[in-house]
Amino acid sequence: MQIAWKHLNKRAAALDALKDYGSMQFILEHADDDIRVEHEKMESVCSPSFDGMPHVHNPQAGEKRILNGIKEIDVLKERYRQALEYMVWFQLAWDELTKDEQFVLREFYMCDEAQQIDVVYNICDYFHIERSSAYNKKNRALDRLSTLLYGKR
């Protein structure tokens, strides 16, 4: 496994981890609701669909619905476990960053609604710096995060 760590593009991996933060947070917040919905689907009676096509009676339809529900719940629980593991791993590195580094990374990579140039101007206004310095701050913060997540280069 040492060879894989040497050839890992740690900066790109840190950037991917930073971009995954929102989806992992969403999974953690909504996993209970998704599991509850799957339980309700398993327990409810399936309503007939009137699409004009003849249907074949399936005596195992209820069992199939329960088995599919169990499989889906297992998938949701595994996603939740992976998201929880990710958040513990990522949060340790994120907490080591300074507030300014967190602000820069949050503005550049965690705000979907803003355009790149607007983000740069926000950072320039916040720190009272010019654009090239804003990009340099971003690069230093991303390098520091990649070092905290994956170790030395």
Asked whether residue 2 is domain-assigned, the answer is: no
Asked whether residue 23 is domain-assigned, the answer is: yes
Asked whether residue 125 is domain-assigned, the answer is: yes
Q: Where are the alpha helices (DSSP H) in the chain?
A: 2-6, 10-43, 61-96, 99-105, 116-127, 131-150
Asked whether residue 99 is domain-assigned, the answer is: yes
Q: How many CA atoms lie within 13 A of 105 on its CB side?
A: 25
- The total number of structural domains that make up the chain: 1
pLDDT above 90 as % of the chain: 49
pLDDT digits (tens, 9 = 90+) for 93-146: 999 999 999 999 998 888 766 677 788 888 999 999 999 999 999 999 999 999
Where in the sequence is the domain holding 105, given as residue range(s)?
9-49+57-150
Q: Residue 1's pLDDT is what?
A: 46
Asked whether residue 1 is domain-assigned, the answer is: no
Asked whether residue 4 is domain-assigned, the answer is: no
Q: How many CA atoms lie within 13 A of 11 on its CB side?
A: 7
* 130: phi then psi, degrees, rounded to nearest 5: -90, 170
pLDDT digits (tens, 9 = 90+) for 21-47: 989 999 999 999 999 998 888 877 766
